[in-house]
Amino acid sequence: MDRLSDAAVEQFIAVRRDIHRHPELAFSERRTAALVAAQLGAWGYEVTTGLGGTGVVGQLKRGSSARTLGLRADMDALPIAEATGAAWASCEHGVMHACGHDGHTAMLLAAAHHLAQHGRFDGTLNLIFQPAEEGGGGALRMMEDGLFQRFPCEAIFAMHNMPGIPQGQLVFRSGPAMASSDYATVTLHGHGGHGAMPHKATDVVVAAASLVMALQTVVSRHVDPLQPAVVTVGAIHAGEANNVIPAEARLEISVRTLAPQVRRSVEQRIRELVQLQAQSFGVRAEIAWRAGYAVLVNDSAQTARALAVAQKHFPAEQVNPQGPMVSGSEDFAFMLERVPGSYLFIGNGADGEPGACMVHNPAYDFNDLNIAPGAAYWVALVQDLLSPTP
């Protein structure tokens, strides 16, 4: 396997720490995108900027093959005040790279550098540096800007670090791997009145209470018990005084599922319950449904190819062929709905070891020991999937 030189590893650890010092929130990744674009351009990539706001694509063609491949890294940081005490800690108050996207960007840049200098492949390589993974849906924005029309990819891959897994371990999973996340606001409209004369009112508080209980049956009575799903009513707002029946109640609901068909059927059941419950209490219901990230489904054939590359180049104990599902969400799911591919994890450090602090925690930091294996895996994937035919 191609390994990065010690000098290259040092170089990209420095790049990672530089990005870490200057974190930028979703769609504001201007400095990071400029750094990525400048480096790719200097190495001979054809660089396109401004895709989906601050997204960057670097394209490198070798040989004459029509084969195409896409690799994606995310670039955005989180609104969290850093508490790592690291020498390379964030210079931006209240903003930090608490999900390791600084590391994902640096790993892909390190691979880009190596492939430009030494890469043995035949085809077109598209390196996708995406804005706004953390809830902003930067993947969709890049796709709306014509990402896959302008840069066709036969397969796409992305890698995320994961604390709690031994450093450098590569974790694959075929099929559904990460949860969908959707949100709904339900507003109940009734007829307000005096608390002593309920017969002159239609009470949204009673309707809301009944609806909350009815919603508990979506997962317990409607969804296949072997399919994971969560329906949470996280907020109820209604009324001010003990002797006034309010005219309006609002409920905030969040939904997570791990299969596209469960996601559709849970939404449908919630919509039915909201309308039928409201009707039964004589109140009117409005539901504002906000679709968040889709279920992330790894293509079985592409996952098998990605796994085979890891098994060929890495020791067996460093490769987990079928990791567990993860209840978090990830907008690479939208890219996978369009192009077959796979999303893998790289261990950031086992529990009790450096790198074990969970992402989105103020004490989290990307493990720089992953720059070398992460980049080496990307290089191996490109050279194996776009291997020059003898």
**99 binds Zn ion per the rule CB under 5 A:** yes
Q: In the range 340-359, which residues lie near Zn ion by CB under 5 A?
A: none
Contact segment (CB under 5 A) with Zn ion among 97-105, 214-222, 236-244, 270-278 equals 97-105
Q: How far is the CB of 249 from Zn ion (least distance, A)?
A: 33
158 or 386: CB nearest Zn ion: 158
Nearest approach, Cβ of 298 to Zn ion (angstroms)? Answer: 17
CB of 359 to Zn ion, least distance (A): 5
Least separation in angstroms between CB 208 and Zn ion: 32
Shortest Cβ 129–Zn ion spacing (Å): 14
**Which of these ranges, 41-49, 92-100, 193-201, 273-281, lies near Zn ion under the rule CB under 5 A?**
92-100
CB 201 within 8 A of CB 192: yes
Q: How far is the CB of 74 from Zn ion (least distance, A)?
A: 6
- CB of residue 358 to Zn ion, shortest distance in Å: 10
C-beta closer to Zn ion: residue 35 or 98: 98
Nearer Cβ to Zn ion (45/293): 293
Q: What angle do CA 297, 309, 16 make, to 5 degrees?
A: 80
Q: Looking only at residues 110 through 149 of this chain, which bind Zn ion when binding is defined by CB under 5 A?
A: none
In the bound state with Zn ion, the residue whose beta carbon lies nearer, of 74 and 203, is: 74
Q: List the interface residues with Zn ion, window 283-302 (CB under 5 A).
A: none
* Nearer of residues 80 and 297 to Zn ion, judged by Cβ: 80
Q: Which is nearer to Zn ion, 228 or 328 (CB)?
A: 328
Nearer to Zn ion, 99 or 171 (CB): 99
Residue closer to Zn ion (CB basis): 92 or 384: 92
Closest to 348 (Cα-Cα) out of 156, 73, 107, 79: 107
Q: Which stretch binds Zn ion (CB under 5 A): 54-62, 99-107, 191-199, 291-299?
A: 99-107
| Contact criterion met (CB below 8 Å) for 36 and 102 | no
Distances, alpha carbon 4 to alpha carbons 74, 138, 388, in Å: 22, 30, 21
- Minimum gap (Å) between residue 97 Cβ and Zn ion: 9
Q: Per CB under 5 A, does 108 bind Zn ion?
A: no
Size of residue set near Zn ion by CB under 5 A: 1
Give the footprint of Zn ion on this chain (CB under 5 A).
99
